[in-house]
Amino acid sequence: MALSVADRDRLNRHLEQLAEYRETELGYPVAFDIDFKPLLPYLGYSLNNVGDPFLDAHYRINSREFEREVLQFFAELSHAPKDGWWGYVTNGGTEGNLYAMYLAREMFPNGIVYFSRDSHYSVAKNLHFLGMRNIMIRSQPNGEMDYDDLRETVRIRRDAPPIIFANIGTTMTEGRDDIRLIQSILDEMAIEKRYIHSDAALCGGYAAFLDPPPAWDFADGADSIAISGHKFFAMPIPCGIVLARKRFVDRVGQSVAYIGTRDTTISGSRNGFTVMGLWYAIRSFGMEGMKQRLNKAMALADYAEERFREAGIDAKRNKGALTVVFPTPVEAVCDKWQLATAGEISHIVCMPHLRREQIDALLEDILASERDSPGMQP
């Protein structure tokens, strides 16, 4: 059977539309600078990495060996303890965060989760799924957690183990919570039972390359880390990586006769094709290539922030961030450039594939809209 001419035309039109939309997508942390076409032959197979990636299974049409190499790369990037970590490739950052909170709940059933106001919207949803007690902590203006509020809130409830959900790059401002400082707060209260999760969806892809790097990884005190694969690593399919200390994971695994292996994951059947994409991206660029991609993106963020300020627009940016925040323009500009917007602020995320011409075109549209709006100052 073959598609009709009308259906083929429809697909072609959709591809043309996607190409147009890609040119005006500035607001979301996705990259398009890696060509994955060499992996097309793998679409002829149903790659299913069901169960534990470190164990064999009955179903052999999988990419387990590549998954282990991908996980090893991220374990080294995040200073995971040798022989003391475990992980798997997920279908996105939300699953990674859900898995981490699941581990924390199994370790500390009476624990309380503390997360900041600027945390991703899925955090509250995940905690509802898991039925976990939780308290929202205030945020600082830059999106970072208010540590004084955290200290006082935890102090009042010292009888319950704290489970800290730390943001290593908040959604709107790329604010990063300091895991070392959080550890010191818990230390000063002599709280031994604790769990700290690092939600590094975007920043986990390049945090290790920053100078100095933020306090975000296992060496800084994280017990688990979630990173997205479809952001800095340019995967065309949503996916992610979750890593955790092995002693927490050992509590939740179970053997499954049907698949002939142990399952320690959430989703069971898992996408083996995304594993191949992540492996391809990592092997194509290597550490040095990833650093160069980051340097290119940072240079563009510098350029965007400078151009906006020169134009009289109050652009702001956290140190070492790819996210440039500015007052929300008119709706037509937000819609055209697909700007992420929350209330009075919008942002662009300067990913490696973006060009200065796109920043200039956005800025010109903003300035033109202000000139056309009576009473607005450029």
pLDDT, tens only, 279-338: 999 999 999 999 999 999 999 999 999 999 999 999 999 999 999 999 999 999 999 999
Strand 133-137 with 85-90, pairing: unpaired
Reported as a pLDDT band with limits 50, 70 and 90, residue 374 is low
Average pLDDT over residues 108-127: 95
The reported pLDDT for the residue numbered 80 is: 97
* Distance of alpha carbon 115 from the chain centroid: 16
Helical segments of the chain, H only: 5-23, 64-77, 93-107, 122-130, 147-156, 179-188, 246-249, 272-310, 331-336, 356-371
The reported pLDDT for the residue numbered 204 is: 95
Cis peptide bond upstream of 162, omega within 30: no
Q: What is the pTM of this model?
A: 0.94
Chain region(s) in the chain for CATH 3.40.640.10: 38-283
Phi and psi angles of residue 88, each rounded to the nearest 5 degrees, phi first: -160, 165
The reported pLDDT for the residue numbered 371 is: 85
Write out the two tokens for 250.
């050992």
Write out the two tokens for 29.
């942390």
Q: Which CATH class is domain 5-33+287-371?
A: alpha beta
Reported as a pLDDT band with limits 50, 70 and 90, residue 372 is confident
**Rounded percentage of the chain residues whose pLDDT exceeds 90:** 90
The reported pLDDT for the residue numbered 253 is: 61
38-283 — its CATH code? 3.40.640.10
The reported pLDDT for the residue numbered 252 is: 76
Write out the two tokens for 54.
């470190």
Chain region(s) in the chain for CATH 3.90.1150.10: 5-33+287-371
Total residues belonging to the chain: 378
Q: Which of 140-144, 197-201, 367-371 has the lowest mean pLDDT?
A: 367-371
